[in-house]
Amino acid sequence: MAQRTAGHDCGFLADIVPEARVDFEESRREEFAVDASPHDPTLPDAVVWPHTTEEVSAVLAAANERGVPVTPWSGGSSLEGNAIPAAGGVVLNTVKMDDVSVSPADLQATVGPGIVYDDLNERLGTYGLRFPPGISSGDVATIGGMIANNASGFNAVKYGETRDHVRQLEVVLPDGEVIRCGRGVVKTSSGYSLKDLFVGSEGTLGVVTEATIGLTGIPERKRAALVTFPSDVAATSAVSEMMGFGLEPAAVEYLDTLTVEMINDYREEVSLREEPTLILEFHDNTSGIEEDVEFARGICEDNDATGWEAADEGEMDRVWQARRDALPAYRAHDPELETALLGDIVVPISAYPDIVATIKDASEALDLVVPCVGHAGDGNLHFTPLVDTDDDAAVARAHEFNDRVIERTLELGGTATGEHGVGVGKRKFMRAEHGNAVDLMGTIKDAIDPNGIMNPGKVLPEE
Ligand SMILES: Cc1cc2nc3c(=O)[nH]c(=O)nc-3n(C[C@H](O)[C@H](O)[C@H](O)COP(=O)(O)OP(=O)(O)OC[C@H]3O[C@@H](n4cnc5c(N)ncnc54)[C@H](O)[C@@H]3O)c2cc1C
């Protein structure tokens, strides 16, 4: 049941967009009370679907005048409560703003925020191009949501995160003013990089209405391998060595033994070795790819790998199916247990074995079931405590576990969130991670959004 706020009069929306694109119906508003996270739902007072920058501008100007909160929304697939309308008010859904204009010669595209990642890549494929961060929720996540959360995924280790590809943004500020920041070029040293301020700002500073993004060519050759190890230390040390030697894999995914066991239970026809596992992927346009694969194999063997199952392009789906099955396998593992929270830490690559060991120790000490997977190549690790969410003590232990892991992550020089963003769940770690830089973030927020209407209750700590 969604929480309710005191309520805001959002009748003004009907004067800005046609009736069919505003919803006041409670059953419809319920759909936008929560994103894909386990955080508490809050009911918005209205949902609006603008089609143009002018409509976004008019909605924000009117909401700002009345002090009505506005939470941008695109695919609603956030995992930290980023898109939950925590203070009620308007959910401003940009999913209908999905135009795409490709400039193949410049390796860039100008897109609306609502275009879905997989749909964009399907269209780019006709030009031999792709937008490469490689998000796992690509069937629902939009480019607007990816920019706002600075999302990335299994290919970020080679191609970078969303931020690395954003060249120019059109943004509507809370008072309705429209600005353009950045340029549609590969580099610029002109002025403060405002586009970087909006990337990762989770809709707390304005609404992205258009983005020019850099693209890459589709690689001609791909290879993958499923590699097993006798211990977490062996698997994670192999990752640290591979990256330390300067190999440039396109993906390095780590799956702990618990995850592999759950995947085997989930799919009867699958029988993976129940050991810590790495999925490696390499991309190249030349035969040099074979040397990279052999080099990686040597490192894995030096770290006592117990199995190496190679796959060429035609067989890669089989290898990747294991990774794709992880989340559904967690959910199917025990109908009594649910996801208490979703960990998303990143540590310097040399500290990866340390943080994996911390997670194993803490889950044992707190008697929790915590399967882990991670984009290990860039030091990113996701841990998922599974608990009976009606058992308050178990939920409290899951949060205690999260606190311990993040405390160690920060000691190791890491970050509390690698790709999911701060949303509601990571606010309490902001001061520990950023120190007095949080005060400057607060000053920037107040300067751009003095009435505090943009996605209140997110990113900055409550203090
Ligand atoms: C099964 C699953 C797998 C996932 N895998 C990954 C993964 O591999 N990597 C990863 O990074 N994330 C992953 N996620 C999380 C999520 O998909 C990403 O955070 C994604 O970027 C959210 O995009 P969205 O379009 O759904 O945005 P939403 O959830 O709608 O919004 C995200 C944030 O952006 C703001 N926003 C939305 N549109 C705009 C706009 N036009 N202007 C300004 N702000 C806006 C919202 O207010 C919110 O704060 C996964 C989620 C699920 C459910």
Hey, what CATH topology would domain 13-93 get? Answer: 3.30.43
Please report the pLDDT score of residue 229 as a whole number. Answer: 98
The residue whose CA has the least distance to atom 32 of ligand 1 is 145
The boundaries of every CATH 3.30.43.10 domain in the chain are: 13-93
The CA 286 to ligand 1 mean position distance, Å, reads 35
The residue whose CA has the least distance to atom 44 of ligand 1 is 203
Helices marked H in 194-315: 194-198, 232-244, 257-266, 288-302
The CA 257 to ligand 1 mean position distance, Å, reads 28
The residue whose CA has the least distance to atom 4 of ligand 1 is 137
Cα-based distances in Å from 67 to 61, 70, 155, 289, 415: 10, 9, 41, 57, 34
- Please answer whether residues 171 and 207 qualify as being in contact, where contact means their C-beta atoms are separated by less than 8 angstroms: yes
SS3 (DSSP) at 171: strand
d(CA 227, CA 275): 9
β-partners of residue 92 are 48, 72
The CA 455 to ligand 1 mean position distance, Å, reads 14
For the four alpha carbons of 289, 294, 298 and 301, in that order, the dihedral sign comes to positive
d(CA 120, CA 204): 25
Task: Determine whether 393 is exposed, middle or buried from the number of CB atoms within 10 Å of its CB (0-12, 13-18, 19+).
Answer: exposed
Shortest-distance atom of ligand 1 to CA 78? 29
Choose one of 34, 42, 78 to mutate for the ligand 1 pocket test, by most ligand atoms within 8 angstroms of C-beta: 78
Hey, what CATH topology would domain 100-217 get? Answer: 3.30.465
**Which of these CATH numbers, 3.40.50.150, 3.40.50.720, 3.40.462.10, 3.30.750.24, describes 221-411?**
3.40.462.10
Give the DSSP letter string of 57-98. HHHHHHHHHHT--EEEESS---SSSTT--TT-SEEEE-TT--
Phi, psi of 301 (to 5 degrees): -65, -40
Shortest-distance atom of ligand 1 to CA 97? 41
Pocket of ligand 1 (CB under 6 A): 35-36, 71-79, 82-83, 94, 113, 135-137, 140-142, 144-146, 148-149, 151-153, 202-203, 207-208, 327, 419-420, 455
- Which of 414, 394, 395, 392 lies closest to 405, judged by CA? 414
The CA 145 to ligand 1 mean position distance, Å, reads 4
Shortest-distance atom of ligand 1 to CA 455? 47
Shortest-distance atom of ligand 1 to CA 113? 41
The residue whose CA has the least distance to atom 3 of ligand 1 is 137
The CA 26 to ligand 1 mean position distance, Å, reads 24
The boundaries of every CATH 3.30.465.10 domain in the chain are: 100-217
Helices marked H in 273-429: 288-302, 316-333, 352-365, 392-411
The CA 50 to ligand 1 mean position distance, Å, reads 19
The boundaries of every CATH 3.40.462.10 domain in the chain are: 221-411
Strands 251-255 and 277-284: antiparallel
Strands 90-93 and 46-48: parallel
d(CA 22, CA 88): 15
- Please answer whether residues 286 and 221 qualify as being in contact, where contact means their C-beta atoms are separated by less than 8 angstroms: yes
d(CA 212, CA 10): 32
Please report the pLDDT score of residue 56 as a whole number. Answer: 98
Give the DSSP letter string of 414-458. -BS-SSS--TTTTGGGHHHHHTTHHHHHHHHHHHH-TT--BSTTS
Give the DSSP letter string of 125-148. HTTTEE--S--TTTTT-BHHHHHH
Please report the pLDDT score of residue 303 as a whole number. Answer: 97
Choose one of 136, 417, 458 to mutate for the ligand 1 pocket test, by most ligand atoms within 8 angstroms of C-beta: 136
Give the DSSP letter string of 263-278. HHHH-TT----SS-EE
- Which of 61, 41, 35, 59 lies closest to 49, judged by CA? 59
Per-state percent for the chain, helix, strand, coil, to nearest 5: 40, 20, 40
The CA 34 to ligand 1 mean position distance, Å, reads 12
Please report the pLDDT score of residue 270 as a whole number. Answer: 82
The CA 169 to ligand 1 mean position distance, Å, reads 17
The residue whose CA has the least distance to atom 2 of ligand 1 is 137
DSSP code for 258: H
**How do residues 173-217 score in pLDDT, each as one tens digit?**
999 999 999 999 999 999 999 999 999 999 999 999 999 999 999
- Please answer whether residues 221 and 313 qualify as being in contact, where contact means their C-beta atoms are separated by less than 8 angstroms: yes
Residues in the chain where the model's pLDDT stays below 70: none
The CA 304 to ligand 1 mean position distance, Å, reads 38
The CA 146 to ligand 1 mean position distance, Å, reads 5
The CA 117 to ligand 1 mean position distance, Å, reads 11
Please report the pLDDT score of residue 256 as a whole number. Answer: 96
d(CA 194, CA 180): 9
Q: Could you tell me the pTM of the whole model?
A: 0.96
Choose one of 135, 159, 382, 424 to mutate for the ligand 1 pocket test, by most ligand atoms within 8 angstroms of C-beta: 135
